[in-house]
Structure 1
Amino acid sequence: MSNNMKLSTTLITLVLWLASASTADDRWTVERLQDELGVQAGWTAANELPTWSSNPTVLVSLEKPYAAGLGEAIPGIDVIEVSGVSEAMLHAPRANVILGMCDAELLDAAPNLSWVFVFHAGVESCPLTERLAEGDVVVTNFQKLASPAIGEHAIAMMLALGRGLPRFKQAMPAGEWRRDLATEPGMQVVAGRTILVAGLGGIGRQVARRAKALGMQVLATRNSSREGPTYVDYVGLPHELPELVKRADVVVDALPLTEATKGLFDGALFADFKEGAYFINIGRGGTIITDALYEALTSGRLAGAGLDVTDPEPLPTDHPLWQMPNVIITPHVSAGGFDREWLRFVIEENLRRYVAGETLLNEVDPARGY
């Protein structure tokens, strides 16, 4: 091989390596978070918080491995890694930031606190203290990061129920070739059917997008306005839910758990459902009355249900829902399989933003609870 050919080969290899390195670096960007997942910056600039510090002391729970080693990743912060709330209490008076813990006693013991990062999509387990309610301490979470996976889970449950897959699965241990199960009740296709997504947030949008791609008419409700993406045919307000469920062949509960949504799906609401509809819950178990759901299933009002969340959770082993042939239960795992690198990226990006005094990603409105 000539020297020129060797030089050319080396240059090509270098260019390809640089291109791949650039692609890897560009994979995790705020633009992707916003465009693909709908993650947005909040409304509170960190440097406007009463106890903000550009050189914060940060308490980090190591219960999640993706939170380790932040001190090396973000210059100018003093990171104290703890195993849990008990150990964190020892350092609480110094803390400006708490990552991965939201305990009432811990918050009260941290007079210099200005930011709490909850390592979940919801914040119902985070106590609404006076400082949080008044905005002196900002709260962020992981909402929307796992929404594509959860949206796929909801669609998978809908398709499995509509095709009668749970019934066929139950016949498999006995080796039974039960073609009759295809007609009891009949197998369905979703194209042309109507789906209602209750809660058009990050998860709800992912469900709606996939349902529209399958040829469904998509209805939805949201708390803030009637505005929605082009793949949603109608966006209603919460008070319209009893009327909208009458039109839906499938109802997907993608609601957060708040005072307004607690026990929302009760006997009266299930009675309004279209007869033979399917119900999917990938939101929060506390938004439904479990006994009312069971009654709607046994009466035939509902043709089936897919539940990734339950109330109580976990569902007791002797609960009759476990044995129903038209019910699919998964143990709160619908987020499984999503790209968990986003978690680390958002933690580091929010720390960078905090030190710079900027607004943070995924800020939670304490009044709304999400």
Structure 2
Amino acid sequence: MKCRWLVAAACASVLLGTSLEAAESSAANVIERYDLQEADTPVKERKGWRKPKRILVGGMASRLGAELKAAAPDVEFIAAGTPEAKAKIASIDAVFGFCDADTLSAGKSIQWIQMVTAGVENCVSLPAIKERNILVTNMQRIAGPIIAEHVIAMTMALARGLDVYIPAQAQGQWIPRLPPGRATTVDGKTMLVVGLGGIGSEVAKRAHALGMKVTATRNSGRSGPDFVSYVGLSDELPKLAAEADFVVNTAPLTPQTKGMFNAAFFGKMKPTAYFINIARGGSVVTSDLVDALNNKTIAGAALDVTDPEPLPAGHPLWKAPNLILTPHVSADSDLGSGAQLAVVRENLKRYSAGDKMLSVVDVTRGY
């Protein structure tokens, strides 16, 4: 499940409000299934680490606090927003489920933030995170397979013109065929994955299985799985975009990626190519995308994220041609929150024991 219009604390309640007994059978299974990365060094080697005594928990019910206590019996769990939280904020060691400037300012002892989403740009941008060397862990990779299916659904919908046929059905219109060149196949086409991380790799795997040639970019180097034919660095993005039939953004939002998909970028794409964004709306200059669609600079687009978000009534994107919009739901599924719960519980055990943590955010890089 992905948090959208809920505040962070309420989001934590939704994600973590299920009994821990509903978690996947073991942390080991989750680590293997999602290829979760373990820190190179034990957390006890971090300056300022100490075994936690009090953890502030956003939006969780008291029942869940009791279950978390079973994983760390010596820890006192305090619900955010309560008089108790206000009274004890100065002695809080860690925060689960949210990250904000006011909490960090009042909680001078906070050493660890456990997020329950993958996106952490609003957290790592807070000066206190770097200044105090606060550890941030998140849910990277957990939603990758689900989001990848959403990308493939968008890819097939654009290729087969479902963005035209479904609205026509709602209006009772029979459209015998699409304009020439609008209906395409994906077999043999090229998909460029921008940001070959956990989500990007899952997208690439599925695109390759459909017979697509997959290229990608990443900042960390040129290595990649066998099903990606070429991995380029970020400065190769314009060249690779010009060769692609589908461009998929799976990159995190950082100062380097903000507004990277602009008029110049869309101008590099083929007029028959499609743009898909399931990462962050802020990576796109929205007005430039609207112009690219209206002017047929590109063939179409599919967006699960927008800037602004939620998209307000009357915004030009609503009327842009050849566009599929979903309301930031690409991580929604019927799988429940078992994997997320397992990560929280496992990281709680590891932090308390001073062991190597899972899914540590590189605060400098922003993801």
Asked if residue 201 in structure 1 is aligned to residue 197 in structure 2, the reply is yes
Show the counterpart of 1:74.
71
Cα offset for 1:59? 1.0
Quick one: distance in 2 between partners of 1:72 and 1:59?
13
User: What is the aligned counterpart of 2:350 among 315, 334, 353?
Assistant: 353
State the Cα distance separating 1:131 from its structure 2 match: 5.2
CA distance in 1, matches of 2:262, 2:219: 19
- The answer (yes or no) to whether the contact 1:49–1:137 under 8 Å persists in 2 is no
Opposite residue 198 of structure 1, the aligned amino acid is V
Instruction: Tell me which residue corresponds to 1:21.
Output: none
Deviation at 1:134, TM superposition (A): 5.3
Counterparts in 2 of 1:188 and 1:47: CA distance versus 1, 3 Å:
same
* CA displacement, residues 216-263 of structure 1 (integer Å, 9 cap, x when unaligned): 000000110100011111000000001100000000000100000000
Question: How far 1:65 sits from its partner (Å)?
Answer: 9.8
Structure 2 residue aligned with 1:6: none
Counterpart residue number, 1:281: 277
Q: Deviations over 1:291-312 (max 9, x none)?
A: 1111111111211111000001
SS in 2 for 1:301: coil
Paired position in structure 1 for 2:9: none
3-state secondary structure, aligned to 2:170: coil
Alpha carbons 2:65, 2:77 under 8 Å: kept: no
1:28 corresponds to = 25
* Structure of higher RCO (CA pairs closer than 8 Å, 6+ residues apart): 2
Q: How has the CA–CA distance of structure 1 residues 85 and 208 changed in structure 2, closer, same or farther, with 3 Å as cutoff?
A: farther
Alignment partner of 1:303 is 2:302: no
Give yes or no for contact 2:124–2:130 (8 Å, CA) kept in 1: no
What CA distance in whole angstroms lies between the structure 2 residues aligned with 1:65 and 1:248?
51
SS at match of 1:235: strand
Whether the aligned pair in 1 keeps the contact of 2:293 and 2:321 (CA below 8 Å) is no
- Aligned residue number for residue 287 of structure 2: 291
Are the equivalent residues in 2 in contact too, given 1:52–1:96 (CA < 8 A)? no
In 1, are the aligned partners of 2:124 and 2:363 still within 8 Å (CA)? Answer: no
Call closer, same or farther: CA 1:72–1:212 in 2, change over 3 Å.
same
- The match for 1:97 is 94
Q: Give the aligned length.
A: 346
Q: Tell me if the contact between 2:189 and 2:213 (Cα under 8 Å) persists in the aligned partners.
A: yes
Alignment of 1:1-370 (within 5 A): 27-62=24-59, 68-84=65-81, 88-129=85-126, 132-133=129-130, 136-181=133-178, 183-337=179-333, 338-370=335-367
Matching residue's letter, 1:209: K
Q: What amino acid sits opposite 2:143 in the alignment?
A: A
The structure that has the greater radius of gyration is 1
Shift in Å, 1:109: 1.8
Q: Mean Cα displacement is larger for which, 244-253 or 26-35? A: 26-35
Question: Compared with structure 1, are the counterparts of its residues 145 and 130 closer, same or farther at alpha carbon in structure 2 (3 Å cutoff)?
Answer: same
5+ residue gaps, structure 2, are 1-20
Change (3 A) 1:88 1:303: farther
Contact 1:147 1:203 in 2 (8 A): yes
TM superposition shift of 1:69? 3.4
d(CA) in 2 for partners of 1:179, 1:87: 65
Q: Judging changes above 3 Å, is the alpha-carbon distance between structure 1 residues 313 and 176 closer, same or farther for their aligned structure 2 residues? A: same
User: How many Å separate the matches in 2 of 1:213 and 1:67?
Assistant: 41
User: Measured at CA, do residues 285 and 80 of structure 1 come closer, stay the same or move farther in structure 2, by a change above 3 Å?
Assistant: same
- The CA RMSD over aligned residues, in Å, is 2.3
Identify if the C-alpha distance between structure 1 residues 303 and 68 changes in structure 2 by more than 3 Å, giving closer, same or farther: farther
Write out per-residue CA displacement over residues 116-144 of structure 1, whole angstroms, 9 at most, x where no aligned residue.
11222111111545553257321111111
Distance 2:232 2:240 in 1: 8
Cα distance in 2 between the residues matched to 1:257 and 1:202:
15
Q: Which moved more, 1:196-205 or 1:322-331?
A: 322-331
From the superposition, tell whether residues 240 and 131 of structure 1 become closer, same or farther in structure 2 (CA, over 3 Å).
Answer: same
Asked whether the equivalents of residues 198 and 255 of structure 1 are also in contact (C-alpha less than 8 Å), the reply is yes
| In 1: Cα distance, 2:239 partner to 2:328 partner | 29
Identity of aligned residues (%): 43
Residues in 2 aligned to 1:48 and 1:124: alpha-carbon distance in whole angstroms: 25
Change (3 A) 1:87 1:204: farther
- Cα deviation 1:84-112 (Å, max 9, x = unaligned): 49874432211111111211121122222
Q: Partners of 2:61 and 2:175 in 1: how far apart? A: 46
TM-score normalised by L of structure 2 = 0.88
CA distance in 1, matches of 2:359, 2:230: 26
Structure 1 counterpart SS, 2:266: helix
* Alpha carbons 1:89, 1:106 under 8 Å: kept: no
The 2-side partners of 1:136 and 1:232 are apart by 36
